A and B are shown apart, each in its own frame.
Chain A
Amino acid sequence: MSGSALDPKTAPVFPMAARAAMKDGQLRRNVRHATDMIQAKRARVVAEMPDWQELREAGKQIRQHTMENLDFYLEEFEANCTRAGGVVHWARDAAEAQQIIVGLVKASRSDEVIKIKSMTTEEIQLNSALEAAGIHPYETDLAELIIQLGHDQPSHIVVPALHKNRQQIREIFRREMNLPKLGERPEDLADAARIFLREKFLRVKTGVSGANFLIAETGGVCIVESEGNGRMCLTLPETLITVAGIDKVVPRFADLEVLFQLLPRSATGERMNPYNSIWTGVNASDGPRAFHVVLMDNARTEILADAEGRQTLNCIRCGACQNACPVYRQTGGHAYGSVYAGPIGAILTPQLQEMHHAQSLPYASSLCGACYEVCPVKINIPEVLIHLRNKVVKQNGPLNIEALAMKTMGMIFLSEQRFRAAQRMGRMAEAPLVRRDEKGAGWIGWLPGMLGGWTKARDLQEMPQETFRDWWEKRGTHGS
């Protein structure tokens, strides 16, 4: 996959991008292997929780309550963070957030930043904005480093380099770190990354992070991670800039009791994240001297205003739905044309675009429900997908083949007479396409137009000579 940014405004429609992605056998094997492994780990640690369903319900209630009172909790967070010495900024959209962050980095008199993995910074393409302003960002999360050095794009919310295997990662490190003799054992790769990053941690004076949670009650910010790079970025720089979507707020410190159980188990199959950092404002004797939080809307208010789409904002970015999704497992993340891939991406991306782009994504699902089943905060993703499909249908209007066909079929289903007539007509219409197989059964191996998608890989049996209705009527009303 190319290094050009994943931008829903210019991305090809999902079926086209998926077809291209599925030609890459290596990618599919990598995605399959990684998602299988994380799913198995998740299943093990979820099974050991006797109250998992109650925890999911509690997680849902916390998130839902927060969204219903978002204005209140955001202001509470702002007041408490400010009181603790943080500076809160508000950004309407991606451009405004970029502008504020670039300004803050420049004010910190640094031309480089160390970064903690953050989907929000991916969403707003912060790295390109920083580079355009002459600021060099260093990704410090191992997978993000692989993506950055490989001029690649993230394909998973939690495991952004999941589409790469060890050998491919070694090649990237060999080339970009100038290490021709680098081995391919995990410890070789980790050592190389550690040496490469350690120097940046000690030198760079400005850090940029996202946030897992913003705690309204205390004004604290929380980041969970596995590698310790986050802890370095949060403690070593003189200036720390955090950017977070306004959906990241939780009411109370105690709410983390629920979320800290749900998130690591769902995301990486761990009982607890190795590093759980919470910091509140600044402290004269320790950590960054200056702390800024950029609270970004970027269409979240629009999503909040839609009663049926709103639950999308409950997401805590665990990626469990991606691992469980049979569509994502075939295509990998890049096919979704957005940094948010998989089922959550299929509902989040079009809404972040206010339904102006990415309208093929709500259809990138068989509605099998595996995503809903694993979601730690019980987001009914299939329900939101259907809701968004309805929005797309309304946008497309009544004058297209699909809409006309749907309307016609709706009319047929409403009347017994029309239904019987349609069955007779169907048998006549299909006749020229039907071929007999060796057993004498009639099959259709080719269909025209849109329906041709069906006959690419499947045959279709001809309509039966005797319908269920005919058979039922022949038996008499009460059967025998």
Chain B
Amino acid sequence: MHWNTGYQSEALPLVKRFVEQFRGAETAVVPSSSCVAMMRDHYPKMAAEIGDAALIAEVSQLLPRVFEFSEFLTKRLGLEDVGAYYPHRVTYHASCHGLRNLGLGDGPVRLLKAVRGIDLVELDGLEQCCGFGGTFAVKNADVSSAMLEEKISTVLGTGAEVCTACDNSCLMHIQGALHRQKTGVKTLHLAEILAADEGAGL
């Protein structure tokens, strides 16, 4: 948020903080594709800007162990079927940073397809941004809302009960309009669907 809004000097200490918190971790799994994109695309450059050789080295050692949630399952663990059961109509929103910066491809969709009972419907205009964009949603609220409106109408067009994604920020934004318009459609993070079993009652 700081970096992308232009607050570079405020963002720099957060790199150090992240390294301190996660240096001991075998793997860091992040349930947000835009957070992982931030780390992969910018942390090395930010560490270089701080100019601390030890930090630069630590960032380069830590980053290969950082995974977005769905790629941790599909790429690191080689899993597709996680044994979930979710008998509902679901559509998947491909968040821009997952799609373009991380190249998640059809990984999340393969995970969803393996869920028992699921009725997965493809979203029209999958590559279209939902209009969140961090502070863009507030700074350019009108344009953001117009982009969101298009996303909502494609979500409603699928007849899905649930819209899922790998990024809670997109979901917070999409959910905000789905609720405002009293559509009855809810949003869930991919992890919540994959964690569902017959007793979960989601």
> B132-144 toward A: CB 8 Å interface, digit per residue (1/0)?
1111111111111
A369–B97 contact, CB under 8 A?
A: yes
Known: A326-B131, A457-B141. A367 touches B175 (CB 8 A): no
Is residue B14 within 8 Å, beta carbon to beta carbon, of the partner chain? Answer: yes
Is residue B66 within 8 Å, beta carbon to beta carbon, of the partner chain? Answer: no
When chains A and B are docked, how far (Å) is the Cα of A454 from the Cα of B13? 28
Give the residues from 416 to 461 in chain A that come closer than 8 angstroms, CB to CB, to chain B.
Answer: 437, 443, 445, 450-454, 456-461
When chains A and B are docked, how far (Å) is the Cα of A453 from the Cα of B11? 24
Minimum CB–CB distance for A459 against chain B, Å: 5
- We find that the number of chain B residues with CB closer than 8 angstroms to chain A is 47
B57: which A residues are within 8 A, CB to CB?
A: none
A452: which B residues are within 8 A, CB to CB?
A: 141
A366–B144 contact, CB under 8 A?
A: yes
User: Which residue from B133, B142, B179 sits with its C-beta under 8 Å from A368?
Assistant: B133
B129: which A residues are within 8 A, CB to CB?
A: 326, 366, 368, 370
Q: Of all chain A residues, which has the CB nearest B31?
A: A468
Q: Looking at B10, B14, B135, B148, which has the most chain A CB atoms within 10 Å of its CB? A: B10
Is residue B146 within 8 Å, beta carbon to beta carbon, of the partner chain? Answer: yes
Is residue B52 within 8 Å, beta carbon to beta carbon, of the partner chain? Answer: no
Among A56-64, A280-288, A402-410, the stretch that binds chain B is A402-410
When chains A and B are docked, how far (Å) is the Cα of A18 from the Cα of B146? 11
B105: which A residues are within 8 A, CB to CB?
A: none
B147–A366 contact, CB under 8 A?
A: yes
User: Which residue from A22, A363, A410, A450 sits with its C-beta under 8 Å from B13?
Assistant: A410
Is residue A291 within 8 Å, beta carbon to beta carbon, of the partner chain? Answer: no
A372: which B residues are within 8 A, CB to CB?
A: 100
Secondary structure type dominating chain B contacts: helix
Minimum CB–CB distance for B142 against chain A, Å: 5
Known: A458-B176, A459-B179, A461-B175. A369 touches B100 (CB 8 A): yes
> B1-21 toward A: CB 8 Å interface, digit per residue (1/0)?
111111110110110010000
> A143-163 toward B: CB 8 Å interface, digit per residue (1/0)?
000000000000000000000
Is residue A393 within 8 Å, beta carbon to beta carbon, of the partner chain? Answer: yes
A22–B146 contact, CB under 8 A?
A: yes
Give the residues from 202 to 220 in chain A that come closer than 8 angstroms, CB to CB, to chain B.
Answer: none
Give the residues from 366 to 406 in chain A that come closer than 8 angstroms, CB to CB, to chain B.
Answer: 366-370, 372-373, 383, 386, 388-393, 402-403, 406
Is residue A323 within 8 Å, beta carbon to beta carbon, of the partner chain? Answer: no
B41: which A residues are within 8 A, CB to CB?
A: 383
B61: which A residues are within 8 A, CB to CB?
A: none
Is residue A70 within 8 Å, beta carbon to beta carbon, of the partner chain? Answer: no
Known: A330-B146, A369-B101, A460-B176. A403 touches B140 (CB 8 A): no
Is residue A15 within 8 Å, beta carbon to beta carbon, of the partner chain? Answer: yes
Minimum CB–CB distance for A306 against chain B, Å: 15
B136–A365 contact, CB under 8 A?
A: yes
A364: which B residues are within 8 A, CB to CB?
A: 140, 143
A327–B177 contact, CB under 8 A?
A: no
B142–A22 contact, CB under 8 A?
A: yes
User: Which residue from A18, A388, A391 sits with its C-beta under 8 Å from B140?
Assistant: A18
B11: which A residues are within 8 A, CB to CB?
A: 410
Is residue A414 within 8 Å, beta carbon to beta carbon, of the partner chain? Answer: yes
Is residue A98 within 8 Å, beta carbon to beta carbon, of the partner chain? Answer: no
Is residue A331 within 8 Å, beta carbon to beta carbon, of the partner chain? Answer: yes
Is residue B124 within 8 Å, beta carbon to beta carbon, of the partner chain? Answer: no
Is residue B158 within 8 Å, beta carbon to beta carbon, of the partner chain? Answer: no
Minimum CB–CB distance for A445 against chain B, Å: 7
Q: Of all chain A residues, which has the CB nearest B3?
A: A386
When chains A and B are docked, how far (Å) is the Cα of A390 from the Cα of B179? 34
A410–B2 contact, CB under 8 A?
A: yes
User: Which residue from A363, A443, A458 sits with its C-beta under 8 Å from B148?
Assistant: A458
Minimum CB–CB distance for A222 against chain B, Å: 32
Known: A367-B134, A410-B2. A457 touches B143 (CB 8 A): no
Is residue B96 within 8 Å, beta carbon to beta carbon, of the partner chain? Answer: yes
When chains A and B are docked, how far (Å) is the Cα of A321 from the Cα of B92? 25
B136–A367 contact, CB under 8 A?
A: yes
Is residue B127 within 8 Å, beta carbon to beta carbon, of the partner chain? Answer: yes
Minimum CB–CB distance for B135 against chain A, Å: 8
When chains A and B are docked, how far (Å) is the Cα of A457 from the Cα of B148? 9
A458–B173 contact, CB under 8 A?
A: yes
Give the residues from 147 to 190 in chain B that come closer than 8 angstroms, CB to CB, to chain A.
Answer: 147-149, 172-173, 175-177, 179-180
A453: which B residues are within 8 A, CB to CB?
A: 137-141, 144
Known: A365-B133, A410-B7, A443-B179. A370 touches B14 (CB 8 A): no
B142–A407 contact, CB under 8 A?
A: no
Q: Of all chain A residues, which has the CB nearest B34?
A: A367
Is residue A14 within 8 Å, beta carbon to beta carbon, of the partner chain? Answer: yes
A443: which B residues are within 8 A, CB to CB?
A: 179
When chains A and B are docked, how far (Å) is the Cα of A392 from the Cα of B5? 10
Minimum CB–CB distance for A446 against chain B, Å: 11
Q: Of all chain A residues, which has the CB nearest B147?
A: A326
Minimum CB–CB distance for B38 against chain A, Å: 10
When chains A and B are docked, how far (Å) is the Cα of A22 from the Cα of B144? 12
Residues of A within 8 A of B (CB): 14-15, 18-19, 22, 326-327, 330-331, 362-370, 372-373, 383, 386, 388-393, 402-403, 406-407, 409-410, 413-414, 437, 443, 445, 450-454, 456-461
- Starting from the known contacts A363-B140, A364-B140, A443-B179, 15 additional A-B residue pairs (CB-CB under 8 Å) come to A15-B139, A18-B142, A18-B143, A22-B142, A330-B143, A363-B139, A366-B133, A370-B100, A391-B6, A453-B140, A454-B176, A456-B145, A457-B144, A458-B145, A459-B176
Show 5 A/B contacts (Cβ-Cβ < 8 Å), sorted by A.
A365-B133, A369-B100, A386-B3, A453-B141, A457-B148
